[in-house]
Amino acid sequence: MTEYKYVSLPTARKEIQSSKVEEHASAELNAVYVSEGWDVVNATRPMGIGQIGFLLRRD
HEC states along 1-59? CCEEEEEEECCCCCCCCHHHHHHHHHHHHHHHHHHHCCEEEEEECHHHCCCEEEEEEEC
pLDDT of residue 44: 92
Closest CA to 2 of 35, 41, 28, 30: 41
pLDDT of residue 21: 85
| C-alpha to C-alpha distance for 27 and 49, rounded to whole angstroms | 18
Over residues 44-53, mean pLDDT? 83
| C-alpha to C-alpha distance for 8 and 22, rounded to whole angstroms | 12
Q: Rounded to two decimals, what is the model's pTM?
A: 0.82
pLDDT tens per residue across span 1-48: 999 999 999 887 677 777 888 898 999 999 999 999 999 999 998 777
pLDDT of residue 20: 85
pLDDT of residue 49: 76
Give the domain ranges of the chain.
3-58
